[in-house]
Structure 1
Amino acid sequence: MIFRDRKEAGELLAQAILKRFDGELVDPIVVAIPRGGVVVAEPIAEKLGAPIDLVIPRKIGAPFNEEFAIGAVTEDGTVLINPTITPEFAARLGITEEYIRRKAAEEIAEIERRRKKYLSGFGRVPKEGRDVILVDDGIATGLTVKAAIASLRKEKPRRIILAVPVMPAEKVGEFKELVDDLVVLYAPVEFSAVGQFYYDFSQTSDEEVIEILKRNRMSFNL
């Protein structure tokens, strides 16, 4: 299964969510992970008549190799460490508690900068007692999505429904344990990267994210 683009993936996810829950959702809110997740979220929010909010997890890179994620952090300070990082491996890479605290603080500052940029003039949407549909354009390792789930739990939603177009088959059981419900359109055994399941996986711009959020928020006067 290959999606034309993120918009089509969002439209198909919206159909699957409506079929699965059929009017059972309680005061739903769509929470997207920028940037690509916002494009996927828009058709879902339109179908559900729901506002969009953001959760912005950021990976914590290893010393001398920022691309290798040793953990992830969200704006409320939730830090998740990559379970593959053993104490011995951390010592070899020079990963200390002080390093993690420092890098987490740097990433939290970046998260706040992005939130202000994306949602300038718009406030947060309360999630307590509501059904939260957490959306991204796909899951590979899933570390940042796990951090997002842990962060959202602190806001006391009625339930968290993770909705993604694609993820590895080996991750399905793991994520079912982390959320209240999971909607995934395609979970192949052979999986190397999210982008391989899209004809168009071009990078989403900040401007596109801002425009989607502005359209959505103005329709709700938020």
Structure 2
Amino acid sequence: MDRQFEHRRAAGKALANALMTYRDQPRLVVLGLPRGGVPIAYEIALALHAPLDVLLVRKLGFPYHPELAMGAIASGGAQVLNQRLLHGSDITPAQIQMVVQRETAELARRETVYRGQAQPLEVADHTVIVVDDGLATGATMAAAVSALRSLQPRRLVVAVPVGSQEAARRIAAQVDDFVCLITPASFNSVGQWYRQFPQVSDEEVCTLLSHPCH
């Protein structure tokens, strides 16, 4: 394991170097997945002279099987439902709506923590770079990508410092551009690729979001 990153901020700077073709592009936004993706996204936004925001994702679980996702919602009103799974289930539209309302309320609560009353950045017809600190299964990023597609970005880019080979292949097939610096053959966890990998606090996320990047 000789290709570890010192910490998230260092990984962000390394990732920014790989994304320089996007620097100073008009209608460019960088979105970090809280909490671990935000310090990395901050360094990218800073280097590319782009605005920074968070992208919160909430899984929509079946009422009788919460771990099984029937869809997802994300910042900005994005929503996606897995129609194939829904058609094979006996869930009612009213039950779906109850889950959507509950998770929308929780997403709104978390967004208020991070950005106060500020509105999410516009992503329609923008180039959007979505950032996390790594991909293990890729499930959260897949939900983010699916939900973002419903907001019709012009170009959707996923950027991560490290990812499992399986997750990297899965996500790369879903986006317009995929940048991942390390895809090791043996992958146990995201944290193993960082020498320092502390929990990111809500306070740190809020501080980074309050700093202008462009």
Interval containing the TM-score (normalised by the shorter chain): 0.7 to 0.9
Partner of 1:27: 27
Match of 1:155 among 148, 151, 154: 151
Q: Percent identity?
A: 36
Q: 1:133 aligns with which of 129, 133, 150?
A: 129
**Which residue, 114, 120, 126 being the options, matches 1:118?**
114
| Mapped partners of 2:188, 2:109: distance in 1 | 31
**SS where residue 211 of structure 2 aligns?**
helix
Within a 5 Å distance, the mapping from 1:43-122 to structure 2 comes to 43-59=43-59, 69-71=67-69, 73-75=72-74, 76=77, 78-79=79-80, 102-122=98-118
* Structure 2 CA distance for partners of 1:152 and 1:96, relative to 1, 3 Å: same
Of the candidates 190, 195, 205, which is equivalent to residue 199 of structure 1? Answer: 195
For 1:60-81, what per-residue CA distance to the aligned partner results, in whole angstroms no more than 9, with x for missing partners?
Answer: 5688997xx4226224362566
TM-score (ref. length: structure 2): 0.83
CA contact (8 A) 2:141 2:171 kept: no
> Does residue 36 of structure 1 match 2:32?
no
Larger CA deviation: 132-141 vs 70-79: 70-79
Paired residues of 2:80 and 2:146 also in contact (CA < 8 A):
no
- Distance in 2 separating the partners of 1:195 and 1:45: 23
Root-mean-square deviation (Å):
2.8
Which letter does structure 2 place at the counterpart of 1:130? H
Unaligned residue ranges in structure 1 (runs of 5+): none
Rounded Cα–Cα distance in structure 2 between residues aligned with 1:189 and 1:38 = 26
**Deviation per residue, 1:158-199 (Å, 9 max, x gap):** 101100011111222221210000000101121121111112
Amino acid at match of 2:192: Q
Q: CA deviation at 1:118?
A: 0.5
Please report the TM-score for the alignment, with normalisation by the length of structure 1: 0.80
Q: Are 1:146 and 2:133 matched, yes or no?
A: no
